[in-house]
Structure 1
Amino acid sequence: MNKKTFYILSGFILFAALSRLLPHAYNFTPLGAIALFGAAYFKDKKWAFIIPITAFWISDLLLNNLFYSAYYEGFTWFTSGFLYLYGSIAMIAVLGYYLLKKVTIGRVIGGALGASLIFFIVSNFGVWISSPLYPLSAEGLIACYTAAIPFFHNTLGGNLVYSALLFGAYEWLKVQYPSLQPVESQV
């Protein structure tokens, strides 16, 4: 057991999730990158789900109750559509588990693209199913996905940038400190 590695990986993910508190373009977030990163390095796969989802939820709590509080009546634990957002994190972690058994630049880029597509498909399906803006028909679904296309490049950009930062920084740390090995089982 290497608790130091566990805490470093968790810290990277939490730090990336909290970067959402900084000004950024719509959908330019670390959502896909943190799920891929967790899946690649936590060998006990429950942590590949628990840590990214918890970190994202903490950043949601802060965003929704400090920055967007005017949109809610009182303290809010979850936003509408949270099941689709957190479900996409879980699905991306599954993708990362299979794709990133060996971490390479090409696989990380492929993972970032796959994560962006998963998020796009799942989150916008959630918007379509729960929003009065779109009729619950094939035309409404197409309209919802069409309206979301202008935001896709930010989703992809966020996943690529944050993946490069997370994976690059951690791989660099592993070279500097060889004791940082994948986490087998923790806590």
Structure 2
Amino acid sequence: MAHLKFNPRTILLLLMILVLTGFRLLVTFNSDELKFANFSSIGAVALFGGAYFKDNLKAFAFPLLSLFLSDFVLSTTIFSKYSSGFLYEGWYVVYFAFALMVLVGRLMLKNITIANLLASTLTIVLIHWIVTDFPIWFRNPSYTQDLAGFWLCLERAIPFEVRFLEGTVIYGAILFGAFEILKAKYPVLKLQTQKV
């Protein structure tokens, strides 16, 4: 039987992801149904997981699992009318976009600086905007099936993407700032030679 080793860095990273994902539920349950649509911690969680977990499986699995758990809670409660039996229509596109966001964290945040964090945040907002709105436009009779129709769909999504940007910036500052402060105070949280 393999000897399980307690890794405080991994435990703290996972705990921080779960707490920030909990804020997604807290904000959604305590506001008008769509008032804070897209203002969530999910983008920040994707970047955070991609940046700090050096093991690919954990980097993708923990943020995607947090998205799934919060989606499941929301789709079986206050957003049940939008549920398609399993989560919501087009969920797989959102998860694909989210996996791309984790990848951005892995690639752009190997060296965590404010400039890199801002650049990666803008990149994931662009990914979210284009990837998640493509299925809304595609084969939708409300939009012409050309570049002009897709652009119109993107224009209509701007208020939601602004909220996504705001949420990612605010929650990202909390996540990254808190972990960097804790890492400076507790050297055990610094990355060792083993994978986290």
TM-score (norm 1): 0.89
Q: What does residue 20 of structure 2 align with? A: 16
Deviation at 1:8, TM superposition (A): 1.1
Is the Cα–Cα contact under 8 Å of residues 115 and 159 in structure 1 kept in the other structure?
no
Aligned runs of 1:68-79 on 2, under 5 Å? 68-72=79-83, 76-79=85-88
Deviation at 1:130, TM superposition (A): 6.2
Is the Cα–Cα contact under 8 Å of residues 42 and 182 in structure 1 kept in the other structure?
no
Is the Cα–Cα contact under 8 Å of residues 143 and 150 in structure 2 kept in the other structure?
yes
Long gaps (5+) in structure 2 = 29-35
Deviation at 1:103, TM superposition (A): 0.9
2:137 to 103, 111, 128: 128
Task: Tell which has more relative contact order, 1 or 2 (C-alpha 8 A, sep 6+).
Answer: 1
State the alpha-carbon separation in 2 of the partners of residues 49 and 122 from structure 1.
18
Q: What does residue 61 of structure 1 align with? A: 72
What letter is aligned with 1:3? N
1:116 to 92, 113, 125: 125
State the alpha-carbon separation in 2 of the partners of residues 2 and 177 from structure 1.
16
Deviation at 1:70, TM superposition (A): 3.6
Deviation at 1:133, TM superposition (A): 3.5
Cα RMSD (Å) of the superposition? Answer: 2.0
**Does 2:41 correspond to 1:30?**
yes
Q: 1:161 to 1:79 in 2, by over 3 A?
A: same
Is the Cα–Cα contact under 8 Å of residues 44 and 168 in structure 2 kept in the other structure?
yes
Is the Cα–Cα contact under 8 Å of residues 83 and 89 in structure 2 kept in the other structure?
no
| Sequence identity (%) | 35
State the alpha-carbon separation in 2 of the partners of residues 15 and 128 from structure 1.
34
TM-score (norm 2): 0.85
State the alpha-carbon separation in 1 of the partners of residues 37 and 81 from structure 2.
19
Aligned runs of 1:143-158 on 2, under 5 Å? 143-158=152-167
Deviations 1:13-66, CA, capped at 9 Å, x for gaps: 122122111235221112221111011110112211111011011000001112
What letter is aligned with 2:17? I
Q: How many equivalent residue pairs?
A: 184
State the alpha-carbon separation in 2 of the partners of residues 131 and 7 from structure 1.
44
**Does 2:175 correspond to 1:166?**
yes
**Does 2:91 correspond to 1:82?**
yes
Which has the higher mean CA deviation after the structures are superposed, 135-144 or 50-59? 135-144
Q: What does residue 31 of structure 2 align with? A: none
| CA radius of gyration, larger in | 2
Which has the higher mean CA deviation after the structures are superposed, 161-170 or 17-26? 17-26
Runs of 4 or more consecutive aligned structure 1 residues displaced over 4 Å after TM superposition: none
Aligned runs of 1:167-182 on 2, under 5 Å? 167-182=176-191
Is the Cα–Cα contact under 8 Å of residues 36 and 93 in structure 1 kept in the other structure?
yes
